[in-house]
Structure formats: structure tokens, C-alpha cells
Amino acid sequence: MINIYDIGDVPSITGVFTDGGAAIDPDTVQCMIKTPAGTTTTYIHGVDAAVVKDGPGNYHIDVPITTSGRWHYRWEGWTAHVPPIERGGGEGYFEVRLSAF
């Protein structure tokens, strides 16, 4: 099921990182958000306050919706001593309705 929002909403997008099923905190966690216009912005935990750690291996980012269309997101994480980590958050998208006003 696709999540559908309205302009002005602020959905929370979550990413969960695991290794062999156990929660793990990557050395680097980032979330990329792509707007319907094709503009991609990358947010990095520890650099951008927008990426919030909620617990071991659990992160979220609140995305202010400014335009209608399909928004895409992708979570990535890297750890120097564990090559590559599973991306539980992975990729996804949501739709934003065109306003009638």
C-alpha cells in the first residue's frame, strides 16, 4: 500500500539497519530524498540534525512536503569492520496529492 500525503504534511521516514537480523549502528548513516522535480538531497546522521537516531539500528527523518507528485527515499549505511550492512530501511516512495486550491 502506498502512503499518500498532502502538501504541508511532514511524514516520518524510518530506516532500520541489521546484520544477520541483529540491530547494528553503521559508522555512517545517510538518507537520500528525491523530490518529484528530480532534486536529490542527502542527509547524513551526525552532520545533519534532520537524521535522528531512535535506538540501536533505528533512524528516522521528517520530510516537509512542499509539492505534489512522487517522492523517493533511500537509506544507506556503512561500517568499516562489517562489509556491507543490510539496509533494512532500503528504498521506498510516497505520493503527495495535488491540492484543489
In the chain, domain spans: 4-96
The H-assigned helical ranges of 27-91 are none
Q: How far is CA 4 from CA 1, 22, 26, in A?
A: 9, 31, 30
Q: Which CATH number fits domain 4-96: 2.60.40.10, 3.40.50.300, 3.90.870.30, 3.40.50.1820?
A: 2.60.40.10
Per-residue pLDDT of 5-57, as tens digits, reads 999 999 999 999 988 888 989 889 999 999 999 999 999 999 999 999 999 99
Residue 88 pLDDT level (bands cut at 50, 70, 90)? low
Length of the chain: 101
Q: What is the value of pTM for the model shown?
A: 0.86
Q: Residue 79: which pLDDT band, with cuts at 50, 70 and 90?
A: confident
Distance separating alpha carbons of residues 17 and 28, to the nearest angstrom: 11
